């Protein structure tokens, strides 16, 4: 071995050691050590030299990229032996769907490895960090990494936020138009029902904020916020409905109105009925909240009283008719009790009317 990079380290009858500095791929091969005895003894060893991959580079990116365009990023490294492994990451999350290509250099017996990442540009990728990592056994678990920050341009994304979810007459409302895009959108444009704002004194626009004071029914309508940038424009709408103050108070007065109805019922009834009305004012726990209806217990009591009075009247009338009917039959039968025949009974009955005042009978 005659090379300035080879140095004799130790020489004795028992050991012969050499060192090779600045190892290159040409140093790979079979090394033989001989002991000149009779016969000559030899020992052989094969030296394998690893090719260290070069630092990877990412190509194919042109800034900026419009949303929806197809992007093809290629990561390439050379000089690896054996072939290196390439992996793609987006914001530290590995991307699996990639293309891998390996080419061998016939002269140096090394490999050139490339990998391509193909995807559609999306606004969510703006500012994302795409990295290409090369792993190889010669790197001692310290991979080589190349990075690229993506810049995606996209049309504005518009959203309206209201400060009052239930606007009433006389109140104020603030509508904020949030617009996000790249490049940054220009100042937004506010319109109402397809035209300009009708009342600039009450409807004040400050940047992306629309303030409306002293709301009334004429403010009802569709408000549109439009934002644009060099890529395009976008808009969104908000339907404003101004509510009456009276309508908003109804839900809060349901329970007091029920209490008032109960008190009025107590006053209208007699002393004997008040107790039952008060007792029936205890609400059924199974009843639905907020529902109103007739007092069924009160109606039942009134019906019972009417039925009772009707029955008493029928009984009194029956007794009266029974008394008068008995008196008539008794008077007609006087004088006929002792008659031998029918003719005599009739004559006695007619004659008895003369002394009617003397023969009157009374039922007690």
153-238 matches 55-149 in CATH topology:
yes
- Note the pLDDT tens digit of each residue in 245-285: 865 444 444 444 433 333 333 333 333 333 333 333 334 44
35 close to 41: Cβ distance less than 8 angstroms? yes
Tokens representing residue 21 in the block: 């500095």
User: CA–CA separation, 117 vs 73, rounded Å?
Assistant: 5
Q: How many CB atoms sit inside 10 A of residue 167's CB?
A: 19
User: CA–CA separation, 298 vs 304, rounded Å?
Assistant: 10
Tokens representing residue 315 in the block: 């009984």
pLDDT at 95 over 90: yes
- Mean pLDDT, the chain, whole residue set: 80
User: CA–CA separation, 154 vs 232, rounded Å?
Assistant: 8
pTM of the full structure: 0.57
Largest CA distance in the chain: 191
Q: Are strands 152-162 and 65-66 parallel, antiparallel or unpaired?
A: parallel
Q: What are phi and psi of 330, to 5 degrees?
A: -70, -45
Distances (CA, A) of 108 to 24, 118, 189: 10, 31, 65
Q: How many residues does the chain have?
A: 364
Q: How many CB atoms sit inside 10 A of residue 127's CB?
A: 11
Domain ranges of the chain: 4-45, 55-149, 153-238
More confident residue, 324 or 151: 151
Q: Which CATH superfamily is domain 55-149 in?
A: Immunoglobulins (2.60.40.10)
Please, which pLDDT band fits residue 325 given cuts at 50, 70 and 90?
Answer: low
Lowest average pLDDT, out of 6-15, 33-42, 343-352, goes to 343-352
For 278-349, list the strands marked E by DSSP.
none
pLDDT at 290 over 70: no
- Note the pLDDT tens digit of each residue in 170-195: 999 999 999 999 999 988 999 999 99
pLDDT at 131 over 50: yes
User: CA–CA separation, 327 vs 120, rounded Å?
Assistant: 117
- Note the pLDDT tens digit of each residue in 141-172: 889 999 999 999 999 999 999 999 999 999 99
For the chain, list the strands marked E by DSSP.
6-11, 16-20, 29-35, 41-47, 57-59, 65-66, 70-80, 85-90, 93-95, 99-105, 110-120, 129-135, 144-149, 152-162, 173-182, 189-192, 203-206, 209-212, 221-229, 232-240
Architecture of the 153-238 domain = Sandwich (2.60)
In this prediction, residue 359 carries a pLDDT of 53
49 close to 25: Cβ distance less than 8 angstroms? yes
50 close to 81: Cβ distance less than 8 angstroms? yes
User: CA–CA separation, 109 vs 23, rounded Å?
Assistant: 15
In this prediction, residue 347 carries a pLDDT of 60
The DSSP letter of residue 251 is G
The DSSP letter of residue 188 is P
Q: Are strands 85-90 and 99-105 parallel, antiparallel or unpaired?
A: unpaired
In this prediction, residue 83 carries a pLDDT of 93
Tokens representing residue 246 in the block: 């009276």
- Note the pLDDT tens digit of each residue in 188-242: 999 999 999 999 999 999 999 999 999 999 999 999 999 999 999 999 999 999 9
């Amino acid at each position: 071995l005659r090379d300035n990079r080879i140095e004799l380290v130790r020489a004795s009858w028992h050991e012969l050691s050499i060192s090779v500095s600045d190892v290159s791929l040409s140093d790979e091969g079979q090394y033989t050590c001989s002991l000149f005895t009779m016969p000559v003894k030899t020992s052989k060893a094969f030296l394998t030299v690893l090719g260290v991959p070069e630092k990877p580079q990412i190509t194919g990116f042109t800034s900026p990229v419009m949303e929806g365009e197809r992007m093809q990023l290629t990561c390439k490294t050379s000089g690896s032996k054996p072939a290196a492994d390439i992996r793609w990451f987006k914001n530290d999350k590995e991307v699996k769907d990639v293309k891998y290509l390996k080419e061998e250099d016939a002269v140096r017996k090394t490999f050139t490895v490339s990998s391509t990442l193909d995807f559609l540009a999306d606004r969510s990728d703006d500012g994302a960090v795409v990295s290409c990592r090369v792993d190889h056994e010669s790197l001692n678990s310290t991979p080589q990494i190349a990075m690229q920050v993506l810049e995606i341009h996209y049309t504005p994304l518009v959203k309206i936020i209201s400060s009052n979810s239930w606007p009433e007459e006389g109140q104020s409302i603030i509508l904020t138009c949030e617009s996000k895009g790249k490049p940054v959108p220009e100042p937004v444009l506010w319109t109402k029902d397809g035209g300009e704002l009708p009342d600039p004194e009450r409807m004040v626009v400050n940047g992306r904020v629309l303030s409306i004071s002293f709301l009334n029914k004429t403010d009802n309508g569709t408000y549109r916020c439009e934002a644009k940038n060099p890529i395009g424009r976008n808009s969104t709408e908000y339907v404003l409905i101004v509510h009456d103050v009276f309508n908003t108070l109804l839900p809060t007065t349901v329970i007091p109105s029920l209490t008032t109805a109960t008190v009025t019922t107590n006053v209208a009834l007699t002393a004997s009925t008040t107790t039952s009305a008060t007792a029936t004012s205890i609400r059924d726990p199974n009843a639905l909240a907020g529902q109103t209806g007739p007092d069924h217990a009160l109606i039942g009591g009134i019906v019972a009283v009417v039925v009772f009075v009707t029955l008493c009247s029928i009984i009194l009338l029956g007794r009266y008719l029974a008394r008068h009917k008995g008196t008539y039959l008794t008077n007609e039968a006087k004088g006929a009790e002792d008659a031998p025949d029918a003719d005599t009974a009739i004559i006695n009955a007619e004659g008895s009317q003369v002394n009617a005042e003397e023969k009157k009978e009374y039922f007690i």
